[in-house]
Amino acid sequence: MRWRVTGQIIILNGAPRSGKSNIARAIGESFDGPWMNLGVDSYEQITPPRYRPGIGLQSGSD
């Protein structure tokens, strides 16, 4: 039997010191289920390359 795991992903995007971590903390404290707060650097390190095409810096079109 294969298990199908589903979930939700919330992406918080903003300038440094704009309150993203505080928002993530507030969501985690009010949410009943499991909650993980991953920064983009952590996400990139733990995700196998085949699941993350397009992540990273790309050269500009200058």
Q: What is the pLDDT of residues 2-60, one digit of tens each?
A: 888 888 888 898 898 999 999 999 999 998 888 888 887 888 788 888 877 766 555 55
Q: Is residue 37 part of a domain?
A: yes
Number of domains in the chain: 1
Which residues, 6 or more positions from 20, have their beta carbon under 8 angstroms from its beta carbon? 12, 13, 14
Dihedral class, residue 8 (left if φ above 0, else alpha if ψ from -120 to 50, else beta) = beta
pLDDT of residue 32: 86
pTM to 2 decimal places: 0.59
pLDDT of residue 7: 82
pLDDT of residue 56: 59
Its domain, for residue 27, covers 1-50
Q: Is residue 55 part of a domain?
A: no
Q: Is residue 38 part of a domain?
A: yes
> Exposed e or buried b for every residue in 15-36, given b needs 16+ CB within 10 A?
eeeeebeeebeeeeeeeeeeee
pLDDT of residue 61: 54
Q: Is residue 8 part of a domain?
A: yes
pLDDT of residue 55: 60
From the centroid of its chain, how far is CA 14? 13
Q: Is residue 60 part of a domain?
A: no
